[in-house]
Structure 1
Amino acid sequence: MKLLVTGGAGYIGSVVTRLLVDAGHDVTVLDDLSTGHADALPAGVPLHELAIHDVGSVLTPDAGFEGVLHFAAKIAAGESVQFPERHFHTNVIGSLALLDAIRAAGVPRMVFSSTAAVYGNPLEVPITEDAVKAPTNPYGWTKLTVDAAIGAECTAHGLGAISLRYFNVAGAYLPESGPALGERHDPETHLIPIALDVAAGKREKLQVFGDDYPTPDGTCVRDYIHVADLAAAHLLALEAIEPNRHRIYNLGNGNGFSNQQVVEVVRAVTGAPVPVEMAARRPGDPAELVASSARAKDELGWVPSRPDLHQIVSDAWDFYRSGARG
């Protein structure tokens, strides 16, 4: 298929782009490179360095695109609390511009990068797709808004779409040939790469936000999913799309690990002490987010092949030590 990947130079988007190319698809990437990296793209993949709002100049009726995978978004939940307007401008207004272009070009299928942040503080764990949606930050609200817009588009105009709600994505894609792909955010806000910075001596200590949550050790519990497993789900979703239908799937391992447990695994993998400083809770952080991915397994045939946290951290550490992170 001829596919457009928005945000395809980012962490997750670049891994999905690599898998799509390896599977024989004709891929074009649109990315403004505000957080993405052009060198993460496979050789020969066209890159349009544009904001998502300008997607209509690429996704034209005569371009022949058969599908869109949409990753372009702002993702920092903490930043969304401080600057909600930035997240609504990119995530909502940009996505509406994309839907307009999809409709005008007659593109029949779309895969959307959504998030577990739409659930907020869940009433039950593990979380199913039918759980109450109550985001605790503007980032979650932007993704939920776009999910609703996509559903309406499918009903009104015949689009076929699948939204994939990610839990905590981590690790690195380490192919036998070609460059490794991993997290290269600046600034970095995710626990595992920050902990690896501490292990490598680039930070003095790791701040853990909150040790008074209603969890076994008082720190937040999250469901970590390997980026390669997550990326594989997008290819399955692309093949499963049906016209006039919007389906939603959670993507997680179904296992919860506390922040303290993550620190202990980082210490074990790196052999470094990783000093920790406990800090106050961050606004909007739920105590526990663990997925039920039964629907994705039953309907897409998706089964994570790298569920072990030790392997997730080990792959991230190998990427870190490779120097590819920069």
Structure 2
Amino acid sequence: MTWMVTGGAGYIGSHVVKAFGDVGLRTVVLDDLSSGHEEFVPAGVPLVRGSILDTPLLRQVLAEHEVTGVVHLAGFKYAGVSVQRPLHTYAQNVTGTASLLEAMADTGVPAIVFSSSAATYGTPRTDLVTEDTPTAPESPYGESKLVGEWLLRDQGVATGLRHTSLRYFNVVGSGSPELYDTSPHNLFPLVIEALLAGRTPRINGTDYATPDGTCVRDYVHVADLAHSHVAAARALTDGRPLEHVYNLGSGQGASVRQIMETMADVTGIAFEPEVGPRRAGDPDRIVASGELATRDLEWQMRYTLREMAASAWEARTRARTSA
């Protein structure tokens, strides 16, 4: 049994590949390395460099490696940038997913775990997001992820495809010292890179309707996320019933200022964040219940916020030292 992980050379994807390997499940990685890193793929795991838009290549990989399921993480993941690049976003996230599903149908691959996003909810009107919270994406990125979920649903009706979609919130930390987040847009790497460069990290807005005035978000550890991908893959392989959508959320959340204070604590670098203006479209609070995922996908918050921050800092500084 082999699972293909698209985007498996990226930050989240490499943790998913590691989690599969930790329980003895074989994987093959397909990644165009536009944001992934070849060195993130474990030794012994085949890496095919290519695009999910290349349907013939997908067919070839699925057939040659006798793939029995796919974890689909490849895509364009920058919500803010997607507003300026909507056509690129849709090509990668919608056309790319359709290409993958076509190749799977052609080669008889029966199961897929899809990397979706909290961006499908837009600005929720509830303090705690559940899977029943209405979807109202506010960016081409969020829209493209929702369309991806629809494609899986419709293919399930048409062909019997077994599938589930996991909606991520803010994925942070490191589950292995050599793997770290290299995104130029995520909060943890932005803070870390600022500190490493001797700059002061910045908070965008301090007048939100939250206890300390800064946005509250749901932060989950990447290793916990990866663990639940394996649980989902095993359930689909076994034919166990799964919901079509799960939130991987903490149920609690933390503010941006709390993140700054935690980073100062774990790094030993004392700083007072700079304060800038609000960013357009940032809601006060987005926190999700992970109750359904706990029931079905072995979802559990195994790390404190401090442990998340410390693991992220350790992995990034180790990489810097060894470079």
Q: Normalised by the size of structure 1, how large is the TM-score?
A: 0.93
- The whole-number CA distance in structure 1 between the counterparts of 2:245 and 2:7 is 20
- The whole-number CA distance in structure 2 between the counterparts of 1:17 and 1:59 is 20
Instruction: Letter of the 1:189 partner, please give it.
Output: H
Match of 2:195 among 195, 199, 210: 199
Over residues 187-232 of structure 1, what are the superposed CA-to-partner deviations in whole Å (9 max), with x where a residue is unaligned? x1111111112222x1522222222222122211101000000100
Instruction: Letter of the 1:293 partner, please give it.
Output: G
Instruction: Letter of the 1:291 partner, please give it.
Output: A
- Spell out the pairing of 1:1-326 with structure 2 (5 A cutoff): 1-60=1-60, 62-63=63-64, 64-174=66-176, 180-185=178-183, 188-200=184-196, 202-241=197-236, 242=239, 247-306=244-303, 308-323=304-319
Instruction: Letter of the 1:248 partner, please give it.
Output: V
Check conservation: 1:195, 1:274, Cα contact below 8 A. Answer: no
Structure 2 vs 1, CA of residues 297 and 89 (structure 1 numbering), >3 Å: closer, same or farther?
Answer: same
Deviation at 1:255, TM superposition (A): 1.4
Check conservation: 2:117, 2:166, Cα contact below 8 A. Answer: yes
Deviation at 1:139, TM superposition (A): 0.9
- The whole-number CA distance in structure 1 between the counterparts of 2:279 and 2:57 is 40
Deviation at 1:277, TM superposition (A): 2.1
RMSD: 1.8
Over residues 39-65 of structure 1, what are the superposed CA-to-partner deviations in whole Å (9 max), with x where a residue is unaligned? 001112111111110143233474321
Over residues 109-141 of structure 1, what are the superposed CA-to-partner deviations in whole Å (9 max), with x where a residue is unaligned? 100011111111111121101101011211111
Check conservation: 2:216, 2:254, Cα contact below 8 A. Answer: yes
- The whole-number CA distance in structure 2 between the counterparts of 1:243 and 1:62 is 25
Unaligned 5+ residue runs, structure 2? none
Secondary structure class of the residue paired with 1:52: coil
- Report the number of matched residues: 318
Secondary structure class of the residue paired with 2:53: helix
Deviation at 1:243, TM superposition (A): 8.3
Deviation at 1:281, TM superposition (A): 2.1
Structure 2 vs 1, CA of residues 35 and 243 (structure 1 numbering), >3 Å: closer, same or farther?
Answer: same
Check conservation: 2:6, 2:30, Cα contact below 8 A. Answer: yes
- The whole-number CA distance in structure 2 between the counterparts of 1:111 and 1:56 is 21
